[in-house]
């Protein structure tokens, strides 16, 4: 996700798609004994530390240097010093945080982060929280001769069934704990988030949503959408028996036949569009649905509890990847999608494919690892010794609706279209150099790209801006992410002799964040410990404008390297900002750049040119 700046209180850490950081891209199993099962190391992991007040204060004040003038900085430092003084409010809140840590299962941050970072956020999940990733095209596809609109093609069905089979295999590995435990060099990483992808879903409720995960995930069916019609589709036998890809293909063909043979007047309302709405609006509509009929209870449960969703689109987007990714991002109209599922896989009728994921259950490496396995194993997805067991019949998921629900769907379509039309998103596939060159000149590829973004922004706007990058904290039990404040006093110069210093400063912050010593999560935890209006009023550190300003991330970035098999993106996190996802390959660097058209200060395509210029000019500095 996300990583995204919600100025009122918290960065909305979506850490979208596979938001890898240099710390997150840990070696998977190359240093791991084969006998180490998925969760065998969990008991060895330390708990996430609570940084000292002095550590956080020092790092926080340093992060303010490039964005405040002298008088603003003096005022902010005074507020920080007052907060952390001996016997001050900071010590009281720190004590409460330490006490809470003793009662939480995994860490002091876990519940706070889920609620403040995700579940209390009321804006639509589509674009604002959900991430997208587009898969590398198969050489078997002829993208110049896409089937006509309205047709579900053989290549589409075949690829969807193939990926479904691979996903079932991955779920088997997680259920049986045979997915190899992961390490950063020789230090074990938390594997808990692998339990949070299959069968996971978000429930719209008030005043905050709920996330539901189960493990082991033993459902034997998936849900499939086509033209907004939803089906419960068994893909395993009643005892979890794995079947051939051909058997899954036939189930998908049965869905296509059922939709094609259903008269328009008998088709179900586009309930999925409601998942693109404001969370309170969707919560109210969901409660209305539940109150209308027991059938709606069963239908929502079938969707929620399915292993994952497959969306069959009876059309193809433009071959141009600058255009095609929009279909995966939001479908152009929010139809034929269910944005509350942790994973919904999208297949166009020319065979192009991608995923739209709900970000709450897991960060970066987790879906990224799954996606990488999917694409790499595309030719080897058949399960070993598939069973010939007869699969259950597909079932149409039906809803009882009233006029209120119908009207809410109409308004949701209007609201979704406004949101979608407001998003300006484009890509860069830069092929002039990549990590091989950067490593040859002894530059950290991730830190280098962060400096590229800083230079591009300064050239474009003539000023510096708070910048977010996510760092993984999976070295700790239940670890998720921490913010790397990439805009440092050392990155605010173009001089060649300071480039390496700026990169080193970035790496130091990345290492501190990965070690649980970042600024943002600790300040969030302290702020969450305030109990009275008097405490809130006296906490000048949070009242000072610099607090909001320093986490108003006009640049929200994430690294999903290497990007060979897929690339992705997410929406901007503030109205005047950019959402930038990048992937550093050996010989290339990919970017996605999003902004809002309603902001006259931003333009994704113009900023793309500034990034390209910075990429070329910074190489000259190193050559």
The residues facing 82 across adjacent strands are none
What stretches of 500-546 adopt beta strand conformation (E)?
none
Token pair 């690339």: residue: 567
Is residue 180 in some structural domain?
yes
Scanning 88-153, the segments in alpha helix (DSSP H) are 89-101, 110-114
State percent of the chain over pLDDT 90.
Answer: 84
405 and 447 in a single domain? The answer is no
Q: State the residue range of the domain holding 505.
A: 431-517+553-623
Q: Indicate which residues carry an active-site annotation.
A: 359
In this structure, are 417 and 350 located in the same domain?
yes
- The dihedral sign for the CA sequence 392, 367, 591, 434: negative
Q: CB under 8 Å to 257, separation ≥6 — which residues? A: none
* Domain co-membership, 349 together with 378: yes
pLDDT surpasses 90 at 24? no
Nearest to 21 by CA among 438, 584, 607: 584
Do 404 and 476 lie in one domain? The reply is no
Model confidence band, residue 146 (pLDDT cutoffs 50, 70, 90)? confident
Say whether pLDDT at 611 is over 70: yes
| pLDDT at 273 > cutoff 60 | yes
Cα 348 to Cα 226: distance, rounded to the nearest angstrom: 11
Q: How close are the terminal C-alpha atoms of the chain, in Å?
A: 34
Same domain membership, residue 609 and residue 586: yes
Do 476 and 598 lie in one domain? The reply is yes
Is pLDDT at 460 greater than 90 in this prediction?
A: yes
Q: Cα(14)–Cα(153) distance, rounded to whole angstroms? A: 34
Domain assignment present for 209: no
Q: Which residue has the higher pLDDT, 500 or 88?
A: 88
Taking the CA atoms of 475, 370, 236 and 286 in sequence, report the sign of the dihedral they define.
positive
- How far apart CA 484 and CA 471 sit, in angstroms, is 6
Do 389 and 436 share a structural domain?
no
The pLDDT tens digits for 474-517 are: 999 999 998 888 887 666 654 555 677 777 777 787 888 888 88
Predicted local confidence at residue 467, as pLDDT: 92
Q: Return the pLDDT at 492.
A: 61
Query: Quick check: 271 pLDDT over 60?
Result: yes
Report the domain count for the chain: 2
Which of 53, 29, 60, 113 has the alpha carbon at shortest distance from 473?
113
Per residue in 42-64, pLDDT tens?
999 999 999 999 999 999 999 99
Same domain, 329 and 452: no
Residue 382 lies inside a defined structural domain of this protein: yes
User: Looking at residues 134-161, what average pLDDT do you find?
Assistant: 91
> Do the domain assignments include residue 86?
no
Confidence of residue 140 (pLDDT cuts 50, 70, 90): confident
* Co-location of 406 and 435 in the same domain: no
pLDDT class for 196, splitting at 50, 70, 90? very high
Domain identity same for 288 and 177? yes
Q: Given pLDDT bands bounded at 50, 70 and 90, which one contains residue 8? A: very low
Q: Based on the domain organization, do 480 and 591 belong to the same domain?
A: yes
Same domain, 418 and 449: no
């Amino acid at each position: 996700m996300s990583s995204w700046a919600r100025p009122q209180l918290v960065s909305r850490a979506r850490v979208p798609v596979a938001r890898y950081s240099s710390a997150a891209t840990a070696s998977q199993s190359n240093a791991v004994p084969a006998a180490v099962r998925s969760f065998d190391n969990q008991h060895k992991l330390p708990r996430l530390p609570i940084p000292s007040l002095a550590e956080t204060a020092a790092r926080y004040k340093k992060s303010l240097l490039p964005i405040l003038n002298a008088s603003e900085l003096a005022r902010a430092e005074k507020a920080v010093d007052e907060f952390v003084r001996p016997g001050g409010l900071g010590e009281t809140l720190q004590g409460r945080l330490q006490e809470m840590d003793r009662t939480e299962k995994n860490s002091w941050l876990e519940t706070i982060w889920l609620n403040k970072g995700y579940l209390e956020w009321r804006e639509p999940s589509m674009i604002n929280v959900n991430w997208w990733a587009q898969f590398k095209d198969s050489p078997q596809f002829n993208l110049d001769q896409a089937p006509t609109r309205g047709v579900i093609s053989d290549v589409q069905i075949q690829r969807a069934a193939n990926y479904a089979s691979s996903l079932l295999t991955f779920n088997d590995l997680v259920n049986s704990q045979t997915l190899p435990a992961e390490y950063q060099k020789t230090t074990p990483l938390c594997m808990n988030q692998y339990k949070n992808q299959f069968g996971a879903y978000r429930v719209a409720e008030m005043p905050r949503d709920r996330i539901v995960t189960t493990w082991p995930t033993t459902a034997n069916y998936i849900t499939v959408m086509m033209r907004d019609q939803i089906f419960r589709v068994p893909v395993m036998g009643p005892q979890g028996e794995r079947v051939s890809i051909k058997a899954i293909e036939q189930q998908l063909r049965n869905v296509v036949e059922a939709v094609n043979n259903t008269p328009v007047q008998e088709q179900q309302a586009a309930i999925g569009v409601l998942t693109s709405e404001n969370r309170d609006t969707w919560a109210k509509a969901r409660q209305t649905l539940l109150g209308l009929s027991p059938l709606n209870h069963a239908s929502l449960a079938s969707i929620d509890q399915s292993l994952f969703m497959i969306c069959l689109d009876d059309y193809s987007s433009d071959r141009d990847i600058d255009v095609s990714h929009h279909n995966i991002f939001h479908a152009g109209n929010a139809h034929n999608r269910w944005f509350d599922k942790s994973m919904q896989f999208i297949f166009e009728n020319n065979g192009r494919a991608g995923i739209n994921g709900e970000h709450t259950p897991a960060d970066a490496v987790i879906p990224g690892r799954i996606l990488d396995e999917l694409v790499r194993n595309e030719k080897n997805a058949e399960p070993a010794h598939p069973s010939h067991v007869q699969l259950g019949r597909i079932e149409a998921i039906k809803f009882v609706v009233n006029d209120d629900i119908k009207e809410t769907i109409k308004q949701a379509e209007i609201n979704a279209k406004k949101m979608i039309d407001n998003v300006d998103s484009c890509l860069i596939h830069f092929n002039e150099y990549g990590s091989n060159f950067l490593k040859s000149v002894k530059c950290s590829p991730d830190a280098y790209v962060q400096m590229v973004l800083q230079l591009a922004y300064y050239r474009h706007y003539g000023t510096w801006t708070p910048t977010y990058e996510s760092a993984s904290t999976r070295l700790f039990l239940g670890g998720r992410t921490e913010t790397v404040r990439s805009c440092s006093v050392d990155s605010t110069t173009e001089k060649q002799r300071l480039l390496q210093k700026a990169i080193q400063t970035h790496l130091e912050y990345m290492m501190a964040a990965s070690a649980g010593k970042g600024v943002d999560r600790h300040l969030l935890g302290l702020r969450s410990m305030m109990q009275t209006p008097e405490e809130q009023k006296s906490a000048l550190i949070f009242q000072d404008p610099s607090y909001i300003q320093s986490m108003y991330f006009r640049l929200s970035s994430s690294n999903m390297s290497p990007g060979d098999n897929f690339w992705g993106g997410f929406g901007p996190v503030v109205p005047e900002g950019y959402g930038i996802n990048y992937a550093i390959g050996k010989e290339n660097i990919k970017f996605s750049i999003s902004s809002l058209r309603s902001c006259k200060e931003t333009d994704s395509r113009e900023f793309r040119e500034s990034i390209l210029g910075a990429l070329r000019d910074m190489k000259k500095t190193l050559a």
